[in-house]
Amino acid sequence: MTFTAQQIALLLQGEIEGNPNAEITTFAKIEEGCPGALSFLANIKYEEHIYSCKSSVVIVNKDFEPQHEIKPTLIRVPSAYEAFATLLQKYQEMNPRKTGRESPVFIGENSTIGENEFIGAFVRIGKNTKIGKNVSISPNVVIGDDIEIGDNTLIYGNTTIYDGCVIGKHVTIHSSSVIGADGFGFAPNSENEYNKIPQIGNVIIEDRVEIGANCSIDRATMGSTIIKKGAKLDNFIQVAHNVEIGNNTVIAAQSGIAGSTKIGRNCMIGGQVGIVGHITIADGVKIAAQSGISKTIKKENSIWQGSPASEVKEYRKSLIGFRNLPYIQEKLNNLEKEIAKLSHQE
């Protein structure tokens, strides 16, 4: 499909600077632009590329002030990153989605599936399961008994959803994730062996949640493990039993959250973060990558870093001290030598 800069600007409610009839047929990163491409500049670190960019149109922030001549047509918007994301979403929606059922498929008794569905080959759906409209289920997905899946949800291949789980509307679950496996519950006995504690709860994933590939979200011991509306999980994340993740919280890859921890809304958690169990994290908290959270965080919108983590200002002070340890050690050694000399002189 071909669009003009004017059409894109109207869609984004942006301001054109250059040729409104410049044609766009594809997307490209700003450093890899080519004629007919649409690129964007949101991060100032990439500004140098706009001066040599060959794309026909570039979306920029409204307050962007170029230092040199720019050849592409510009579309100025309040947020270039948000505008470009909107365009990519619109472009994806234009691509036709698959519908119908491939073969073979197994569907258990008393299960229902809404209209306009896509069910891939080798999908297994258990009994008493209710699946909404416009749901896409890719090949080799296993869906257990007594499950609810809302409208417009997308489940990619090799995913497994255990019995009794509830999946909301407009949810995306990427390949090979496991929803509702048993939580890690074992009780030691008198013979120093471990008896399994039955995990009889479920997992609830609310509307507009996205779960990355190879994630594991464990069912609750009792009650529910809950991923609340709008939360986004990256790939390779472990969410233990009875955890709650708040609305619009985002978590990067390889993070792990231990059992019964409650994370607030609008939090941002970096990659490889470890969070212990039975604590609470306040709304709006940001946690830097590779941090270890070992206690409750009560202060909203605070930033934490390190392992064990502390507020970022304290962490940076400690880091300066840590980096100076070799010099501090050297000074101590020299002081000890001086003290020893003075002692001999006496």
**Polymer length of the chain:** 346
Integer Rg of the chain from CA: 27
* Contact yes or no for 240/184 (Cβ under 8 A): yes
Structure tokens at 11: 């869609």
Concatenating the DSSP letter of every residue in 269-325 gives E-TT-EE-SS-EE-TT-EE-TT-EE-S-B-STT-EEEETTEEEHHHHHHHHHHHHTH
d(CA 259, CA 223): 13
Residue 331 near residue 314 (C-beta atoms within 8 A): no
**How many Å apart are CA 184 and CA 202, to the nearest integer?**
14
Give the count of alpha carbons within 13 A of 116, CB side only: 9
Residues serving a catalytic function are 241
